[in-house]
Homo-oligomer: A and B are copies of this chain.
């Protein structure tokens, strides 16, 4: 499955060397790094190694590529608040209690009178609505009858072909017949969970993690054990190892590329180790790669799936964050659990809507998806930067802010004494939606954390909203 082997750790050494220079002021914000060729000559490495080192630094958020100008040291975090530290959730197994707040957060996303910093939904202004609309018309013109008929599981063949083709980027090299299309990533995750775990079973999850998955696990009658997260490197594998020794874990759910809400990106060697650790115990890994295409650096992170030799990794994703949330088109590559997931897909929704699948297949083939992604990545990188600076400026001292290297959300830690749920209420009363931290755990954690979505183009209204949020937080501190 995997063709792109890492070339030892040469590039990591080189990356660490450069990172050290940046750290000690050898390179400063805005400085141009030596060209790839020059770096090769200086360090005696191959161009590939130098490239990989630069990409690693990009993924760490230290440098950025500017088209046709080379690599520059990012200024991004200089004006912002410190990072949050390693999370420390309660590691007991949890039966999850019902959380009615989720509906409220989601509902706010649909209101036009709200400054939408809550739901992690891309902005209509950024999505390629016009082009998708052209694709829809093209598909419909070609064959209106096909569009209204079923496309039974595994789903739309042209779309699966395009997904397979693109899977080289993540290093998986999937075949179309390894893929099942789904109603967004949520159905993919749901079917994966149901395929490998039963009610009462324990799922190891990241803490914090996307509240929808916690709720989904709860509704399936399963339990969770939460694993601490490093704010940049993602899941703490030592802690996972401990949990695996202590509990009978049925599956592990993980978002190696840009955990929602942390934005962490698991280093390649950790991904490799994670897959090996689970394979040793024959535990399936449900990998959520929904933000994988939205890395701010140049090269897409490899998926954990790309290290999978045993078909134990179930890779889930969708086009919800990149192209069209309302199309509800996702997919899963469930490895050895293909037949189980296929049958579950049939009993859950029979099939995925045909027309949106055909339109996305057309977009991937002829719509300039890569060009579009390049633009949107730069946009989200800049948004993250701008929001971080504004938050650091307006929020109480001792606020911490995550350093995402992909996606479009920030995880903001408020000083002890702040209450995210009360802040959420107060903000809603001022027509601002945010997502309170406690949603991202089944434990009573993250009471002073909030998630801020930076998907909507920066504006005076958003600027004012951030100021208001800062004031509300300060009021809480008295």
Binds B, one of A13-21, A22-30, A103-111: A103-111
Contact of A355 among B106, B127, B136, B153 (CB under 8 A): B136
Are A219 and B355 in contact, with the CB atoms below 8 A?
no
* Residues of chain B lying within 8 A (CB to CB) of residue A198: 199, 221
Contact digits for A122-138, partner B, Cβ 8 Å, 1 yes 0 no = 00100101101100110
A239 to B404, CA, bound (A): 62
* Residues of chain B lying within 8 A (CB to CB) of residue A348: 186-187, 190, 216, 219, 348
Are B127 and A148 in contact, with the CB atoms below 8 A?
yes
Q: Quick one: closest B residue to A219, CB to CB?
A: B347
- Say whether, besides A102-B346, A136-B140, A148 and B324 are in contact (CB < 8 Å): yes
Contact of A148 among B132, B147, B184, B344 (CB under 8 A): B132
A32 lies within 8 A of chain B by Cβ: no
A43 lies within 8 A of chain B by Cβ: no
Contact of A184 among B147, B216, B328, B350 (CB under 8 A): B350
- Say whether, besides A199-B199, A212-B346, A356-B353, A326 and B148 are in contact (CB < 8 Å): yes
Closest CB in chain B relative to A368 CB, distance in Å: 17
Question: Interface size class for chain A?
Answer: 35 or more
Which residues from chain A sit less than 8 Å from chain B, CB to CB?
Answer: 98, 102-103, 106-107, 109-110, 121, 124, 127, 129-130, 132-133, 136-137, 140, 144-153, 183-184, 186-187, 190, 194, 198-199, 212, 215-216, 218-219, 221, 323-329, 342-344, 346-356
Are B199 and A346 in contact, with the CB atoms below 8 A?
no
A290 to B168, CA, bound (A): 42
A136 to B186, CA, bound (A): 26
Q: Quick one: closest B residue to A351, CB to CB?
A: B328
* Residues of chain B lying within 8 A (CB to CB) of residue A351: 184, 325-326, 328
Are A328 and B352 in contact, with the CB atoms below 8 A?
yes
Are A325 and B148 in contact, with the CB atoms below 8 A?
yes
A110 to B351, CA, bound (A): 12
Closest CB in chain B relative to A187 CB, distance in Å: 5
Supplied contacts A124-B149, A328-B350, 13 more A-B pairs, CB within 8 Å: A107-B152, A109-B152, A121-B149, A129-B148, A146-B326, A148-B327, A183-B350, A187-B348, A212-B346, A216-B347, A219-B344, A325-B351, A327-B355
A106 to B150, CA, bound (A): 10
Give 7 nearest A-B pairs by CB, closest first.
Answer: A326-B354, A148-B324, A183-B349, A133-B144, A216-B347, A328-B353, A124-B145
Closest CB in chain B relative to A318 CB, distance in Å: 10
Are A103 and B148 in contact, with the CB atoms below 8 A?
no
Are B152 and A106 in contact, with the CB atoms below 8 A?
yes
* Residues of chain B lying within 8 A (CB to CB) of residue A186: 347-350
Closest CB in chain B relative to A208 CB, distance in Å: 18
Of residues A146, A186, A351, which shows the largest number of chain B Cβ atoms within 10 Å of its Cβ?
Answer: A351
A464 to B329, CA, bound (A): 40
Contact of A342 among B103, B124, B323 (CB under 8 A): B103
A216 to B325, CA, bound (A): 27
* Residues of chain B lying within 8 A (CB to CB) of residue A152: 106-107, 109-110
Closest CB in chain B relative to A138 CB, distance in Å: 12
Are A144 and B121 in contact, with the CB atoms below 8 A?
no
* Residues of chain B lying within 8 A (CB to CB) of residue A349: 183-184, 186-187, 190, 328, 349
A199 to B343, CA, bound (A): 18
Are B150 and A325 in contact, with the CB atoms below 8 A?
yes
* Residues of chain B lying within 8 A (CB to CB) of residue A110: 150-152
* Residues of chain B lying within 8 A (CB to CB) of residue A129: 144-145, 147-148
Q: Quick one: closest B residue to A350, CB to CB?
A: B186
Closest CB in chain B relative to A257 CB, distance in Å: 20
Closest CB in chain B relative to A376 CB, distance in Å: 14
A393 to B109, CA, bound (A): 61
Closest CB in chain B relative to A127 CB, distance in Å: 6
Are A325 and B187 in contact, with the CB atoms below 8 A?
no
A328 to B136, CA, bound (A): 17
